[in-house]
A and B are shown apart, each in its own frame.
Chain A
Amino acid sequence: MSRLRCTDALPQRTDLPVLLPAAARLLRTAAVERTAGVFMLRLRAKHGVALVALFLIGCAIAEAQVQAGHPSILATLWKWTPLLLRGFLFNLLISAIAMALGTLVGLFLGFAQISLVTPVKKGAWLTTHFFRNAPWLVLLFYCLFLLPFQVTVLGLTFPIPDWIKATFGLSLPVMANVSEIVRGALQSIPTTQWESAASLAFTRRQTLWMIILPQCIKRMLPPWMNLYAILTMATVLTSIVGVNEMMSLTRQALSAENRPGLLLAFYSYVLFWFFLYCYPIARWTVRLEAKYAVNI
């Protein structure tokens, strides 16, 4: 396969007007990266400024309502930060486990979607589309109420805490989305690669693992990272089913403080932390997409 390198002449050669802005942007990106020799996240300052502004407005509104004898808003936030951050780390833990589990199962579900055995293929298709199109919150509730609260293995009883069930619930839609990412990537590899591998007497399994999948990694990475960012933001859903993550803790802090003016400040503070984590991932994804979009 010859690779089409990004050249400066591309925008002029493109006849499709809709591609022109994107092509120009991708070229600039590629050019900067070439000269710098390293990849860049190219974080956009204005995105952060907007969020900080929102946060400050929240603080200002709250500050204006501060009554005599109460500590300032920032001091209050600072006081709660250790607890909230512990909650945030819990969000990240849930997202990491759900992603790992969902990716592992989703990978094989994706393989099953291109199986030559019709029942396997149909079953995988059905599973994928069921979980892909079900609301995440509904899946969470299902897992919470359908999974047992403890399991007994060899006479030993292990409790299953709610957060584990919630993590499992979140991994289901991840699994379905990964399955689609994998299927799409596998099918995007020309069939001549399969034919070529078959003519060299590779088995179908060997072809999949050694020849097709390695060529897919690049294509799968951007949508997979995108999915992870979405999952991380969705972990706050677990607060509804009683997991003590950042959102639940924020609510608890607010009720302990019992000062309505704090609402906006606290919730923008939560937003700020998620932003801090997800934004670089999102930007990196955009960068990878740009890079691989040009290298056809």
Chain B
Amino acid sequence: MPATNAEPIVVVRDVHKSFGPVEVLKGVSLEVAKGGVACIIGPSGSGKSTLLRCINGLVPIDQGSIRVGEFDVHKLKTDAEKIALRKEVSIVFQQYNLFPHKTALENVMMAPIHVLKEGKDEVRLRAAALLKRVGLSAKADAYPGELSGGQQQRVAIARSLAMRPEVMLFDEVTGALDPETVKEVLNTIKALAQDGMTCILVTHEMRFAREIADQVYFTDGGVIVESGPPAQLFDHPTKERTRAFLSEIL
């Protein structure tokens, strides 16, 4: 359920990031409430994926601050600190990135066993339940190479959920899928959001963003051009750039 009045769990303030001479993020700020759903839309190369990677510390930022729950992400230095953060914030990638030498069930079980140090039997039950939740009980013993793109992506979501994160980041998770399988993945995410998971999505699925988001951010050229509730941003965009982008793709 949207919980816009709750205190923010993710606070991004004026974040700058350059890769060599290219400044990808030029002062980005956003806030996501606990249990809220934020969608980031915008053209390719506008820094959306980089922003997500910054939030869980995969990419260090140059300037600004990122706070997730009790973690000041920009101050984390050691691996141990970053690992503590990543137990709270999980990311799902566009290319699924499942471990190809492990079955679907083992993919889900690996991190809880080796990172959270939980008991194998208990984890197995939990992993089976998670696969059931994403509708893949029948594929538990299949290897990633034997699964379709949509199925792999749902396993990847289950694998992230197995860490019991507070926040889930989705990086264009339907970008590599064909239109028919997009739906099965989106339904999985929608169910998650309805269960109160805090989600930040980078997506090109505008209809989905409108349906699920509490707040939509439109980024271009490394800055957030405009943001607002989906009804406002999609139906009454105030900035010319936003209008142009939306008319291109809607």
Contacts and interface: CB of A to CB of B under 8 A. Distances in A.
Contacts, number: 59
A199 B100 contact: no
A199 B115 contact: no
B97 interface: yes
Interface in B141-170: 144-145, 159-160, 163
A197 B98 CA distance: 9
Interface string B27-56: 000000000000000000000000000001
B60 to A, nearest CB: 12
A198 interface: yes
Nearest to B171: A199
A204 B79 contact: yes
Contacts of B86: 198-201
A7 B159 CA distance: 32
B93 A196 contact: yes
B16 interface: no
A1 B144 contact: yes
B58 interface: yes
B168 to A, nearest CB: 11
B175 to A, nearest CB: 14
Given A3-B145, A196-B93, A210-B110, A201 B101 contact: no
Given A2-B145, A199-B58, A210 B79 contact: no
B216 interface: no
Contacts of A197: 99
B144 A201 contact: no
B206 interface: no
B117 to A, nearest CB: 11
A192 interface: yes
Contacts of B144: 1
B114 interface: yes
Contacts of A204: 79
B56 A215 contact: no
B188 interface: no
Contacts of A210: 110, 114
B17 interface: no
Contact of A200 (B100, B101, B145, B159): B159
Interface string A216-236: 000000000000000000000
A8 interface: no
A64 B145 CA distance: 64
Contacts of B159: 200
A206 interface: yes
A236 B14 CA distance: 68
A198 B89 CA distance: 12
A275 interface: no
A203 B79 contact: yes
B114 A199 contact: no
Contacts of B90: 199-200
Given A1-B100, A193-B99, A201 B145 contact: no
Which has the most chain B C-beta neighbours within 10 Å: A192, A195, A201, A206?
Answer: A201
A70 to B, nearest CB: 62
A23 B99 CA distance: 28
Contacts of B91: 199
Nearest to A190: B97
Interface string B68-96: 00000000000100111011001101010
A201 to B, nearest CB: 4
Contacts of A199: 56, 58, 86, 90-91, 93, 160
B177 interface: no
Given A1-B100, A211-B99, A201 B93 contact: no
B115 A200 contact: yes
B110 A195 contact: no
Nearest to A213: B101
Give the one of B56, B97, B115 with max A CB within 10 A. Answer: B97
Given A1-B144, A214-B101, A200 B95 contact: no
A201 B95 contact: no
A200 B79 contact: no
Interface string A1-44: 11100000000000000000000000000000000000000000
Interface of B: 56, 58, 79, 82-84, 86-87, 90-91, 93, 95, 97-101, 110-111, 114-115, 144-145, 159-160, 163
**9 closest A-B pairs (Cβ-Cβ)?**
A196-B97, A201-B86, A200-B111, A1-B100, A201-B83, A3-B145, A199-B91, A201-B115, A192-B97
Given A198-B58, A198-B82, A200-B115, 7 more contacts: A2-B145, A195-B58, A201-B86, A203-B83, A204-B79, A206-B114, A215-B100
15 contacts: A1-B100, A2-B145, A192-B95, A195-B58, A195-B97, A197-B99, A198-B86, A199-B90, A200-B111, A200-B160, A201-B83, A202-B111, A202-B114, A214-B101, A215-B100
Interface of A: 1-3, 192-193, 195-204, 206, 210-211, 214-215
